[in-house]
Amino acid sequence: MKPAAKSNIDQNSVPLLEARGITKVFGDLRANDGVDLVIREGEIHALLGENGAGKSTLVKILFGSLQPTEGTVLWNGTPVTLRSPSEARALGIGMVFQHFSLFEALTVTENIALSFDSDVPQRHIEQQAGDLSIQYGLPLDPSAIVGDLSVGQRQRVEIIRCLMQDPKLIILDEPTSVLTPQEADTLFETLLRLRDEGRSILYISHRLNEVKQLCSRATIMRHGKVVDACDPREETASTLATKMVGASIANLVVQPPKDRGDIVLSIRNLSMDAANPFAVALRDISLDVHAGEIIGIAGIAGNGQGEFFAAVSGEDMQEDAESVVLEGVPIGHEGISQRRKRAAAFIPEERLGHGAVPQMVLTDNMFLARHASDADEFQKSQPLRVIARNVVNAATKRVVEVMDVRKSAENPPAAALSGGNLQKFIVGRELDRTPKLLVVNQPTWGVDAGAAAHIRQALIDLAANGSAVLMISQDLDEIFEASTSIAVMADGRLSPPVLVGETSREDVGLLMAGGQSDAA
């Protein structure tokens, strides 16, 4: 790949886009507070910040989806008002969204046609999209239904759709969060090519290595404010991280690997049909998890991880009891409560609505999650089995203290907690039982760096104390940081686990792309 350096950008020319004092207030929250941003022609500009720092709000304002409470946007030095995305597109601003703004039931061509403001004949669009896809090396089938495409293919649709407008500025919101390392490299080549054509790119990410590799300018946001603007090539990943978080993040304490203990969880030839057209079938999965181990399951979103979690946790039960064995007992036919009673614990991906009932207070959520496993403690022994409030309250308090859950009230509804704090609560709720087996799906998805480090450390400590941990994650950094062994899930199949020291990101990336043979 070509080096990112290209410093012939004139720092004194009129910038392509300038935001001055952008402020956006939602109720009490100042999502953006006097934000300044300067993007010059032909530069790849990074917008860095943690989840909730206000990056998404800022780009929505720049793309016309949101109106700022205060502040102005200048385009080539002229103040402009962006009342809608179509006005932004007319100026030459294009956007590739993080959670794709595609329509699953429509074809690729129809999706592209929708981003035009006028009625362009579809065969015209088809031809132009075909030309662009050849020109930028982004293969696409224009008549495919988007719901049938992989995540990487969907991103290509988004990029082509954006390029159809011949934009001067392209905004990419966390584009690599859904890609394999190889797919990400292809994306970077496309981006550098676009930059060399004189287009500007606003690149939003919290992956510092990418930013250092790709960008010549960075604006760093924290709590809605710009805290620094710098040249990321002159910084180290750790100085950038410190600016982003505002404090240095504690390094994980990884225990030296001990001898593996007994097998805790044994999965044998687990297969499940897809429950609906957009689900993935699980195919012949076998895996042993020993005490003291953290097996990280890497993979691109939508390759069967959700289905695998549901099968292991008992949300989807198996016909063959032997397909899931916990400490020697076949449990494949048992439901989630029975599995929990056998000292297994499960943390689903979705915090609100799956891991917790959003409108219910923490103590109620505590009771609901553990009503079966802790029935003897949480319910009084009298015939009516009334909830023992004081016991539940004490357990909640314990979790809040151990996991450092920060909350605004004594016992707030789950939805009132920030993502990171709620996730700490949900993880802590299971750890508090000291389970023999913990299965967790996306332990730190959308969680700030401080909370993520806390959660990963807690998982490592649990394994060090003799429990088995199965961790499904799309975050390769997390997989490599916290796991003892790594297995990769692609298209409903699971590769055999490999010790973390004996594999590399490249190898894992190849497996994520489906590079394993059926014999593997």
Partner 1 sequence: MEVWVSIIISVCAASTPLLLAATGELVVERSGVLNLGVEGMMIIGAVTGFSVAQVTGNPYLGALAAVAAGAFFSLLFAFLTLTLVANQVATGLALTILGLGLSGMIGEGFVGQPGIKMQALEIPLLSDIPVFGKLLFGQDLIFYLSIALVFGVSWFLFRTRAGLMLRSVGDSHTSAHALGINVIRIRYLAVLFGGACSGLAGAYLSLVYVPQWVEGMTAGRGWIALALVVFASWRPARLLVGAYLFGAVTIAQFHAQATGIAIPAQFLTSLPYIATIVVLVLIARNRRATIINTPASLGKPFVPDH
Residues that bind partner 1 in the complex, under the rule CB under 8 A = 26, 64-67, 84-87, 89, 97, 100-106, 110, 113-115, 119, 145, 147, 276-278
Our CB check for partner 1 shows the closer of 119 and 502 to be 119
Q: Are 512 and 490 in contact (CB under 8 A)?
A: yes
Q: Please report which helix (H) or strand (E) contains residue 33, including its range.
A: strand 29-39
Please, which residues have CB within 8 angstroms of residue 148's CB and are 6 or more apart in sequence? none
Tell me how far, at minimum, the Cβ of 254 lies from partner 1, in Å: 40
Q: How far is the CB of 187 from partner 1 (least distance, A)?
A: 21
* Helices and strands: H and E segment counts in the chain: 17, 21
- Tell me whether residue 154 or residue 351 sits nearer to partner 1 (CB atom): 154
The rounded distance, in Å, linking the Cα atoms of 223 and 146 is 36
Give whichever of 165 and 266 is closer to partner 1, judged by the CB atom: 165
For residue 45, the cross-strand partners are 202, 217
Distance in Å, CB of 61 to partner 1, minimum:
11
Least separation in angstroms between CB 131 and partner 1: 22
**Shortest distance, CB of residue 136 to partner 1, whole angstroms?**
21
Q: Catalogue the E-assigned strands of 89-216.
A: 93-96, 169-173, 200-205
What is the DSSP annotation of 271-290?
EE--SSTTS--EEEEEEEEE
Least spacing, CB of residue 26 vs partner 1, in Å: 8
**Least distance from C-beta 303 to partner 1, angstroms?**
20
3-state SS, one letter per residue, for 343-397: CEEEECCCCECCCECCCCEHHHHHHHHHCCCCHHHHECCCCCCCECHHHHHHHHH
**Cα angle: 108, vertex 110, 116; to 5 degrees:** 115
Least separation in angstroms between residue 97's CB and partner 1 is 6
Q: Which is nearer to partner 1, 119 or 319 (CB)?
A: 119
Q: Which is nearer to partner 1, 95 or 508 (CB)?
A: 95
Closest to partner 1 by CB, 82 vs 201, is: 82
Q: How far is CA 146 from the centre of its chain?
A: 21
CB 424 within 8 A of CB 297: no
Residue with tokens 């332990």: 443
Q: Which is nearer to partner 1, 81 or 86 (CB)?
A: 86
With beta carbons less than 8 A apart as the criterion, state whether 364 and 357 touch.
yes
Rounded CA separation 23/71 (Å) = 6
Minimum CB distance to partner 1 smaller for 276 or for 390? 276
Q: What is the per-residue burial (b if ≥16 Cβ within 10 Å, else e) of 260-273? A: eeebbbbbbebebe
Q: How far is the CB of 365 from partner 1 (least distance, A)?
A: 25
Shorter beta-carbon distance to partner 1: residue 123 or 385:
123
